[in-house]
Amino acid sequence: MPIKTWELDPNFRNEIMNEPGGEHLAACFQCSTCTLGCPITEIVSSYNPRKIIQMSLLGMREEVLSNPDLWVCLICQTCTARCPQDVVVSDVLSAIRRIAEKEEEAGKLKIESPRPLFDKAFLHQLEKYGRLYDIGLAKEYYPKKEGSFIKGMRAMMKDYKDFGMRMFKKRKMGPKAMFPEKIKRTDEVKKIFEKIGD
């Protein structure tokens, strides 16, 4: 389908480049090295970071932000390591994801992937305790992902019952893992989140 030039947003590239990590977007010269080396393309055939960058440079804001493939990047850095133009591709994609999240918060976009919910639940643990608290993370993430507390707990049990028993038997997780490992000066970490956000 041809691009509708009248729908392009010429400011989109600046919007991305103003996000931390998005600065190098414009250096891309479309060689596709990022996509050719990407391990995700072997599993998700539509995945194409080169195309996401091209569409971003053209200003196809809506198409880019609603692309479900934004959320399957592993941040494995293969693309970044190989880019001849030093585009930090993983940081650029992460900058685009953060713009999509802001759009969703403003009610202008619906993100199907549960990844923003997971990242937020993860960071909430750090904000509260200074370290990751696995159970706290699961208790926040699963209900949000499934839409209700009961459904969330059911999904969590399905995913983690065997795993939990295995970790318990091997004494990797004992009664201590039930409680968060809280650092002493959580106020210092809280300040980081207050001033930067997540």
Partner 1 sequence: MNGKKLAYYPGCPSAGTAVDQDMSTRAVFEKLGIELAEVEDWNCCGAAEAENPILVYALNARNLAIAEKEGLDIVTPCSICYYNLERSNIALKNDESLRAKMRDIDGSLDYKGGIKARHVLDVFVNEIGMEELKRKIEKKVNVKVAPYYGCYLGRPPVTAFDDPDDPILMDQLIELIGGECVDFSYMKTKCCGGPLMMTRADIAFEMAKNVLEAAKRAGADCIVLACPLCGMMLDAKQPDIEKALNIKIGMPVIYITQLLGLALGIDSKKLGLDKAAVDTKEIVGKVV
Question: Which positions lie near partner 1, rule CB under 8 A?
Answer: 20-21, 39-40, 43-44, 71-72, 74-78, 80-82, 88, 90-91, 94, 97-98, 113-115, 118-119, 122-123, 125-126, 130-132, 134, 141, 159, 162-163, 166-167, 170-173, 176-177, 181, 183-185, 188-189, 191-193, 195-198
Whether 37 contacts 78, CB under 8 Å? yes
CA 99 centroid distance within chain: 11
The residue (of 4 and 172) whose beta carbon lies closer to partner 1 is 172
The residue (of 15 and 134) whose beta carbon lies closer to partner 1 is 134
The residue (of 108 and 131) whose beta carbon lies closer to partner 1 is 131
Q: How far is the CB of 29 from partner 1 (least distance, A)?
A: 18
> What are the φ and ψ backbone dihedral angles of 181, each rounded to 5 degrees?
-95, 100
Cα–Cα distance for residue pair 178/101, rounded to 1 Å: 31
Whether 34 contacts 82, CB under 8 Å? yes
The residue (of 115 and 139) whose beta carbon lies closer to partner 1 is 115
Cα–Cα distance for residue pair 122/131, rounded to 1 Å: 10
Q: What is the CA radius of gyration of the chain?
A: 20
Q: How far is the CB of 119 from partner 1 (least distance, A)?
A: 4
DSSP 140: H
Cα–Cα distance for residue pair 61/172, rounded to 1 Å: 46
Q: How far is the CB of 124 from partner 1 (least distance, A)?
A: 10
The residue (of 105 and 198) whose beta carbon lies closer to partner 1 is 198
